[in-house]
Structure 1
Amino acid sequence: MAASPEAKFTEEQVLWVKHHTPKLMTFAISRPESYRFAAGQFSRLGFRDGEGFIWRAYSVVSAEYADTLEYFAVLIEGGPMSAKFAAMQAGDTVLLDKNATGFLLPERFPDGKDLVMLCTGSGIAPFLSILEQPEIWQRFERLALVHSVSFTEELIFNERLAALREHPLIEEYFDKFRFIPVTTRAETAGALNLKRIPELLTSGALSEALGYGFNQADTRFMVCGNPAMVKDTFQALLDLGFAMHRNREPGQIMMENGF
């Protein structure tokens, strides 16, 4: 006999909601003691919708050891899930699938010295979780996060990333880290401007901004964002001589479409 739908999820409380722009929001929900995930994985969140349910996947922003589960959502006009999120307030309830999933996991790389994380929009979410894991800082000699958005006001995590300098589990390793913001439709101080990530890779501008080169022996890339960005970035990396990582064929690239 198949398990009832209710056996596959828990009902969690919304703890807080923050709207950063009309389209960008973060929120946290309660975390069941039994809920486990690896940094880089995503949850399935849902709501009851009439006689059925509505579900979508969202990467976990929280550290693996956090007491709550935090998420980042981009609201899409006319989207049924976005409408639910737009109206959501602290004290409301959200459905949480009991099983996290996803394979955007840095531990899948068997080697490498430099980890370069490339993302657009909500694709930053899994990397925020990964960067709160001390193991990642201990393993790699250099860490880089490149976050591309359209406009300056969409760079909502800059302060959070800077605060890693004082994170008790990470502060001693922070000098390994470089954050490169990118704005494609605006001039932003301290950012790479008016170019997409694939072009920044191809032209060498990203390597120059980081202060070191990329090579097959040392550099590992993780890519997450909108499908067009993932496709074009993957092609740019292929053109530079890098290969997709597979369990039976180790390579230098892992990628996932952002949710």
Structure 2
Amino acid sequence: MPAAPEAKYTEETVLWVKHHTDKLMTFAITRPEAYRFSAGQFSRLGFRDGEGFIWRAYSVVSAEYADDLEYFAVLIPGGPMSAKLAELKAGDTVLLDKNATGFLLPERFVDGKDLIMLCTGSGIAPFLSILEQPEIWQRFERLALVHSVSYADELIFNERIAQLSEHPLIGEYTGRLRFIPVLTRETGGRLNRRLPELLKSGELSAALEIPFTPADTRFMICGNPAMVKDTFQALLDMGFAMHRNRIPGQIMMENGF
């Protein structure tokens, strides 16, 4: 007999909520002792909705060893899940699927010297988790995070990334990280075009001061579907290939949640 739906999730308490703009929010919930995930994976969060449930996937921002679970959400006007999240406050409850999932995992790469993480919007979430893992800093010689957003007020994690240099587990390695924010709808950023265009023109490689080669460079892409598709195609045109379990390549990608 299949397990009852209730057996597939736990009910967790919201610890804090922060609204960064009218569309961007972060929040944290309690973490069950048995909950396990790998940096780069996502959780399914849900609410009771009438006689049923509403579920959505959100990448975990927290480190694997964190005591709580943090998430980053972009609120979509008219979205049923966004409506629930917009009203969220400390002390409320959220449903958490017991199993994390996802394959945006840097350990799947069998080789490579440089890890380039390309993201738009909420696609930065899995990379924030990955960057708090000591193993990633020891595995790659250079790390690069490129976060593309429309406007400067959407770059809500810049300070957090800067503070990695004070992290007790990884602070000594953070000189290996290059971080570049990209603005696409206003000037003022170091780069101001879409990621696929920056790849094709060579501007991104030059800005990072990292040559992109199939032998050394590994790419992880997460964000809106149009960006993921176009960036993937740009990399294919540059001679890189999708990474598959039985056929090692240089690209892993996932649509942002």
> Under TM normalisation by the shorter chain, which class is it?
over 0.9
1:132-177 superposed Cα distances (whole Å, 9 cap, x missing partner): 0000000100000000000000000000000001101111101100
1:166-206 superposed Cα distances (whole Å, 9 cap, x missing partner): 101111101100001000001124x312x000000000000
Per the alignment, residue 198 of structure 2 pairs with 200
Question: What does residue range 42-191 of structure 1 map to in structure 2 within 5 Å?
Answer: 42-189=42-189, 191=190
Kindly indicate whether residue 254 of structure 2 is the aligned counterpart of residue 256 of structure 1. yes
Shift of 1:98: 0.2
What is the aligned-residue RMSD (CA, Å)? 0.5
Task: Tell me the secondary structure at the aligned position of residue 240 of structure 2.
Answer: coil
Rounded to whole Å, the distance in 2 between the matches of 1:111 and 1:256 is: 20
Rounded to whole Å, the distance in 1 between the matches of 2:19 and 2:188 is: 22
Rounded to whole Å, the distance in 2 between the matches of 1:164 and 1:239 is: 34
- What runs of 5+ residues in structure 1 fail to find an aligned partner? none
Rounded to whole Å, the distance in 1 between the matches of 2:37 and 2:131 is: 15
Rounded to whole Å, the distance in 1 between the matches of 2:158 and 2:16 is: 20
Instruction: Report the TM-score, using the length of structure 2 for normalisation.
Output: 0.99
- What runs of 5+ residues in structure 2 fail to find an aligned partner? none
Question: 2:47 is matched by which residue type in structure 1?
Answer: F
Shift of 1:212: 1.9
Rounded to whole Å, the distance in 2 between the matches of 1:217 and 1:112 is: 7
Name the count of aligned residue pairs. Answer: 257
Task: Tell me the secondary structure at the aligned position of residue 18 of structure 2.
Answer: strand
Rounded to whole Å, the distance in 2 between the matches of 1:172 and 1:42 is: 28
Task: Tell me the secondary structure at the aligned position of residue 192 of structure 1.
Answer: coil
Shift of 1:2: 1.4
Task: Tell me the secondary structure at the aligned position of residue 243 of structure 2.
Answer: coil
Rounded to whole Å, the distance in 1 between the matches of 2:161 and 2:173 is: 13
Per the alignment, residue 236 of structure 1 pairs with 234
